[in-house]
Amino acid sequence: MPSRDEISYFGAGPAPLPTPVIEQSAKALVNYEDTGLGLSEISHRSPTANKVLADAKAALAALYEIPTENEDGYEILFMQGGGTGEFSASVQACVGWWVEQRRRKAVAELGEGKDAEVVERVRKEIQQELKVDYLVTGSWSLKASQEASRLIGSKYVNVAIDARKSNSGKFGVIPGEDEWKLSDKKSSAMVYFCDNETVDGVEFPAFPESLKGRAGDDGVVVADMSSNFVSRKIDVRNYGIIFVSQALFALLLVGLLINEYQGGAQKNLGIAGITVIIVKKSLLALTPAPAFLQQLSDVLPSAIPPIVFDFATIAKNNSLYNTLPIFNLYVATLVLQSLVANFAEKKVSGQEELANRKAELIYEALDQYSDTYHVVPDKRVRSRMNICFRIKPKQDSGAEPGKWDDAREKEFLAGAEKQNLMGLKGHRSVGGMRASNYNAVSMASAEKLVAYMVQFARA
């Protein structure tokens, strides 16, 4: 049986954690700071829980230089429901904000006391103008667009790009911005994109130029950063909403402690339940009254989010409208604080440098042995986080060109597991191999994987 420090894990869902973190968390779970109670047993409204929450916000704000103090700044929310829940919450929030802007304008122009006229005017504007834009570049953005159609109706959903149309029906590219069919800014309630697609190995190389400078009435920019958050520096001010599902948020964060503990042993993360939302405060002030939206239900169904997904409600209650899993947040807080301390002035840029080096090392090996390996996505949009590749038949096998060798892929996986290189099987929907290069993967693990890939290719 291998010891914990002998395992290198490259899975896309579960996360390894350094042993010292597990030990510290275990103590907190049994007896937090000698209070006689475990952290998961105390009230989520207690001073102890509130301090964990405040510490998490402070560390995240410092890490990404998120302005939180003034009215033009951002709220940091901790919620539940995962990325899938935010597919729903984000479109419902943005559509609500769009409607409220038009209601206020109608009241200003028509005057107070003209409620019926205001409702009718906004109803017509919804029917004639409203759009939500989606950049569909992989499996997750596709699901997000489908959820929008389910909630508010497909006629309001504009798929500005479907990358499959540029790649023989498969994901793996991001069309140039000159090919995007974005709605008019004044009609668009939001523009959604998934910054990194875990299933398909595609990542936006930078923030899209065509989305820069958008204000709240120009289509709110919504980004799903569940799988590449804290892996590179971003300008938060480019976004109206950023959301990060807990499973991958923790997965990205926990690895940042590995450098602090030399040879830190790793284990999969078994905690779930926190989703991080970074949302512009000025947008929250546009939240419409449910009674007004109800009058528009004939043209805009399902635009009112469940109360636990209502950003304004969660913000007013300091993320404690319902019971928040404080222990889960505590683990992430430890890692956030460590990252702030470890990388000092470099902050996220320090982790970005490390992530890039690991990705470059793995891709270089795959490209060097291109007679054995085929990297799935286009080189210009290769993900640094999820490296997807297939294995080709041997040149003298007589196999049809362009086909993958299932037997060799099984052999590759079996050989990798013998060397304690785990979690390399691709997503069930696409097959192949996937080496997830999250922050929790050490440079030593990346080097060990590369050595095995070279060995396999030369055999």
Write out pLDDT tens, residues 315-330: 999 999 999 888 888 8
- Check whether 456 has a pLDDT greater than 90: yes
Q: Which of 255, 34, 302 is nearest to 157 (CA)?
A: 302
147-175 residue pLDDT tens: 999 999 999 999 999 999 999 999 999 99
Q: Enumerate the H helices of 280-347 as residue ranges.
A: 281-284, 290-294, 311-316, 326-343
Higher pLDDT, 251 or 183: 183
pLDDT tens track for 339-388: 677 666 777 888 899 899 999 999 999 999 999 999 999 999 999 999 99
- Mean pLDDT of all residues in 115-128: 98
Which of 368, 397, 384, 378 lies closest to 457, judged by CA?
Answer: 368
Q: Which of 378, 407, 372 is nearest to 390 (CA)?
A: 372
Q: What pLDDT sits at residue 181?
A: 97
Mean pLDDT value across residues 424-429 = 93
Please count the other Cβ atoms lying within 10 Å of the Cβ belonging to residue 63: 20
> What does the pLDDT read at residue 327?
86
Helical H runs in 73-211?
A: 82-110, 115-129, 139-152
Dihedral, 246, 147, 193, 289 alpha carbons, nearest 10: -80
* Percentage of residues in the chain having pLDDT higher than 70: 89
Q: pLDDT value at position 260?
A: 37
Model confidence at 97, in pLDDT bands (50, 70, 90)? very high
* Vertex 81 angle, CA 77 and 87, to 5°: 90
Question: Angle at Cα 180 formed by Cα 305 and Cα 90, nearest 5°?
Answer: 10
Q: Where does CATH 3.90.1150.10 sit in the chain? A: 345-458
Whether pLDDT at 392 is above 90: yes
- Return the pLDDT at 230: 82
251 vs 264: CA distance, rounded Å: 15
Average pLDDT in the chain:
89
CA atoms within 13 A on the CB side of 110: 17
Q: Looking at the chain, which residues constitute the CATH 3.40.640.10 domain(s)?
A: 47-343
The tens digit of pLDDT for each residue in 1-37 reads 777 778 898 988 655 565 666 777 789 889 988 889 9
Tell me the backbone φ, ψ of residue 284, rounded to 5 degrees.
-60, -30
The CATH-assigned architecture of domain 345-458 is: Alpha-Beta Complex (3.90)
CA–CA gap between residue 229 and residue 275 (Å, rounded): 12
Top-confidence residue, 259 or 211: 211
- Given a cut of 80, whether residue 65 has pLDDT beyond it is yes
pLDDT top residue among 368 and 273: 368
Hey, what CATH class is 47-343 in?
alpha beta
Residues above pLDDT 90, as percent of the chain: 66
